[in-house]
Amino acid sequence: MSVLDKIKTWFEPVQPLAPEVLHYQTPPEADDQYRLHLRIEGDGRGLLVVNAATILHLNRTATEYARLLIQGASEKEAVQEMVRRYRVSPDTARADLRELRDHILMLSTMEDLDPVTFLGIDRVEPFSAETSAPYRVDLALTYRVDETSALDPEAEHRVDQELSTVDWRCIIRSLWEVGVPHICFTGGEPTLRDDLVELITYAEELGMVTGLLTDGRRLRNQVYLDELLLAGLDHLQITLVSHRAEIHDAVLGRPGSWEETMTGLKNGLAGDIYVVVHVVVRPENADSVLETVDYLAELGVPAMALSSPLESDDIHAEKLAHILKESQEAVYEHNMTLVWDLAAPYSHVNPVEVETGLPAGQVVRQHLYVEPDGDALPAQGYNVVLGNLLRDSWESIWRHPEREKLASLEA
């Protein structure tokens, strides 16, 4: 290479890494045991899954450091490569490498972590660009809502069958193979499925981060909760209408459900798992939401999600929007985490939009929702069938014109 050509390369933008998925497991003799899965996007950004329990969103340079660590490069080799590519000083490259390595080691040994962490980039950025696969897929295992097999009234007209365990395992594997790092089991009520523990175990064995969205009633059975935790469940979201039993039971039409949910919630808080309580603000509970936030804070709940099912033209919408804002501020005042991405309800006023101000289209870009029969929707609440994960190719679903149309919306 001539001197002129060499100088020219100094001013050319660094080309991003090629898309790929890499895995790493520490050797048996290592003092700190952990496993890593790295998914590199087409623009060079990455998602690093630590111990199938925590996802780190990485910028381009952090992704390159992670790739070098996974490939077994020595510190000297990694520093030399980053100096070559980015013209940074060896000291800077070495400090950045050690910071990322220390962060990974910290996450691999800490308990009850937020399952999604942003490292090196602003948290809004991951939703602003198209990717090869979603960051998370919600799997509605069933639309049954109680032991009588009653169906969710909002969904029963669309789906009249549930997939078998074998079919769900097939879907979970196919999602992992296209690069999906995170799945949430939802419904209806997913704990009504007898194979939930088996499906969580299977996803954890693959290396996925797993979450459960539930009414919490079955978690009052400590033995069952322990089975979920031993299977590898990483985070738990429990839906609560109100801290007042009479409001909670009346809205659900199920006497005694508040006591069962609260017992399940307290069991979850005592367990080794990250717990979020989701409160849907509606006319029936609007006047007591702030009290509910206070109650949950005193109970020791670390995180909350807040949403509303009402659309902007609803007569109650303006009042509920004001209450949502006040409730958010109350969550912060109690030093609780306001979760903006774990909740399932992709109604037109959802946690992501409320907290970040992102338009719905950007949310749809990074999520997918699968119904009990395997049909894939852009998100819950968007009744557009993109295809069936058992019958149709991934490319035809993820690149479906209707999904891309929704993802392009800016308002």
How much is the pLDDT for 375?
A: 95
Q: Which two tokens mark 122?
A: 């602003």
Percent of the chain beyond pLDDT 90?
49
How much is the pLDDT for 271?
A: 92
The three-class DSSP label of residue 160 is: coil
The three-class DSSP label of residue 307 is: strand
pLDDT band at residue 148 under the 50/70/90 scheme: confident
| pLDDT, average across residues 221-244 | 95
Choice between 164 and 179, residue whose per-residue pLDDT is larger: 164
- One DSSP character per residue, 220-283 reads GSHHHHHHHHHHT--EEEEE-S-SSHHHHHHHHT-TTHHHHHHHHHHHHHHSSSEEEEEEE--T
Q: Which two tokens mark 120?
A: 């090196």
Lowest-pLDDT choice from 126-130, 209-213, 218-222, 405-409: 126-130
pLDDT higher than 60, residue 200: yes
How much is the pLDDT for 3?
A: 42
Spatial distance between the Cα atoms of 342 and 212, rounded to a whole number of angstroms = 10
pLDDT tens per residue, range 80-94: 999 999 888 999 999
Spatial distance between the Cα atoms of 201 and 165, rounded to a whole number of angstroms = 12
Choice between 304 and 348, residue whose per-residue pLDDT is larger: 304
pLDDT tens per residue, range 340-393: 665 554 444 444 444 444 444 455 667 899 999 999 998 887 788 999 999 999
Kindly state the helix (H) or strand (E) to which residue 22 belongs, with its residue range. strand 20-25
pLDDT higher than 90, residue 309: no
Q: Which two tokens mark 181?
A: 């790092």
How much is the pLDDT for 405?
A: 80
